Amino acid sequence: MNDFLFYVIASAVALLSLLAVTLPNLLHGAIALVGSFFATAAIYIMLQMEFLALAQIALYVGGIVVFMLIIILLTNDLGVDNSLSRVSAGRQVGKGVIIAGFITALCLFFTSNPSLLLRTTEHRAAPVSIDEIGIRLLSTSNGFIVPFEVISLLLLAALVGAVVLSRRENKTEEKEKP
Amino acid sequence: MMPSSAELYPVNNFIGDLVRSIFQQPAAAVINGLLALLSLMALVGSLGAVLIFLERKVSAHFQLRFGPMRVGPHGLLQPLADGIKSIFKEIIKPAGADTFIFFLAPLLPVSAAFLVLAVIPFDHHLQVADPAGGVLYVLGISGLSILGILLAGWASNNKYSLLGAMRSGAQMVSFEISIALLMLLIVMLSGTASLRGIVLAQEGTIFDWWIFKLPFLGIVAFIMYLVASTAELNRTPFDIAEAESELTGGFATEYSGISFAMFFLGEFVNMFVAACLVTTFFLGGFHAPLFGLPVIDPLLNLIPGFLWFFAKAFLIVFLYMWFRWTFPRVRVDQLMYLEWKIMLPASLILLMLSGLFVAQGWVG
């Protein structure tokens, strides 16, 4: 049952991601992307990574896709005459052969050296609670306090930069007025 | 001595036990899940009718009118008549509109409302699912309704629709920041991000609800949450997205028949969902409003929790309607000013002050 569900979701992820990059209409591609984000969240839930799934939905579906949509909506001539340039059949086949060869090589490598695989079944990661993530993020020993602070500094710099950029426009407008 | 929550609200899931006694285990789990989804669908459907009727009646009485009176006693059957009418109405797709997106968009706000209702704790054991990060889930899913509005505006191939959708998108994205910060405040106080855990953290008398338990700041946070959620819902005074005088109907201009009804339903059920969240975060969820009095408290506890929950939620819904029919609409720049220069700094300061309160042990 679980395996069956995994294959259904995984094929949905693959299909929707393919659609997201091949659909000629950008907006249709964005919708396919939303679908693939949701399916990825479902896979995270199957792997018992609840927080990651929720963060995936909150950040990507709730935030990033909305901004992408706003950008796409501001684009001119959307879906009118912007289909992708045609790629010759030979190139398509070539890409397919290269990818298939790569995946076959990977499978052969890991079947001959199974010790290199992550042993997921032996010590399956216990479901990580939000508390643990928070404590790990902010603890000084064995934690991620330094990257956390660096990210907050970066975000602050971006925020200040945005304010400065919008300020400058206002000043030029004021100068033009008199 | 307060009775513990297990004594007050014993675990009795009659229907679930019945299904489990009839069917074997794997089938029973599936059937119980389906039953839960079915009851949510029934809730969404009936809520739409009730809320639209309420809105019309409330607005009428605010304006010294009667509102719908002809269909059924006091117009009670009016939502039914409206529903049947909109089902049989023709859906007109504008020329040059994107067919797929045009018909997909009205479904998204309703599905968002439906998905959030699945994690709302209506009563001690009346909750479809309780993810540990319920607050995150609520935040993420509410992005779907923004998506629906943006897509509807674009797919209509109409300048009014697109302008309305862009305004609406900008508004919802910006006010979501304040909402997220205030949710973070509640998560910090409760020590958990699961919605049921947040309700359980407010167990006790009325003074244990977060609106009162956090001295002074609780009421400020409650009012700020109300304002931010009104903006997030695109309701007057913040309904610049469908300002009739400027944009005809905003993103829904080109929609008719059942597609328009879906937008309407989504809007109203989302209002109820926001009220449910306010109830959960600030008003003690399904807990009865106890005062610590010996005789009255057991009587109040006799009333089932979901009735308390719905009473509180509908009180908040009435507040939203009151706002809508009292305040004039703000301008776009005023709205953005309110969020970025007042609400955002205020919620950050509130968050820091509450952190101080928690650290000093001044809560409760």
Q: What ipTM did this prediction achieve?
A: 0.76
Q: Considering CB atoms only, which of B136, B143, B166 is closest to A55? A: B136
Q: Does A126 touch chain B (CB under 8 A)?
A: no
Q: CB A133: neighbour CB atoms within 10 A?
A: 15
Q: How many A-B residue pairs are in contact by the CB < 8 A criterion? A: 79
Q: Give the predicted TM-score (pTM) of the model.
A: 0.83
Contacts of B169 in chain A (CB under 8 A): 66, 69-70
Name the residue of chain B whose CA is nearest to A65's CA.
Answer: B147
Q: Tens of pLDDT along B263-308? A: 888 888 889 999 999 999 888 888 888 887 777 777 777 788 888 8
Looking at residue A153, what is its pLDDT?
93
Q: Tens of pLDDT along B223-270? A: 999 999 988 888 878 877 776 667 777 777 778 788 888 888 888 888
Domain ranges of chain A: 2-128, 129-178
| SS3 category, B201 | coil
| Domain contains B69 | no
Q: Which residues does residue B123 pair with via DSSP β-bridges, in sequence order?
A: B126
Whether the CB-CB separation of B301 and B312 falls below 8 Å is answered with: no
Full residue range of the structural domain in which residue B221 is found? 95-360
DSSP letter, residue B325: T
CA torsion angle B211 B212 B217 B218 (round to 10): -10
| Domain contains B161 | yes
The domain defined by A2-128 carries CATH number 3.40.1360.10: no
Contact A69 B169 (CB under 8 A): yes
| Domain contains B279 | yes
CA torsion angle A7 A13 A14 A19 (round to 10): 140
Total structural domains within chain B = 1
> What is the residue whose two structure tokens read 């070539």?
A94
Contacts of B146 in chain A (CB under 8 A): 62, 66
Q: Tens of pLDDT along B340-351? A: 888 889 999 998
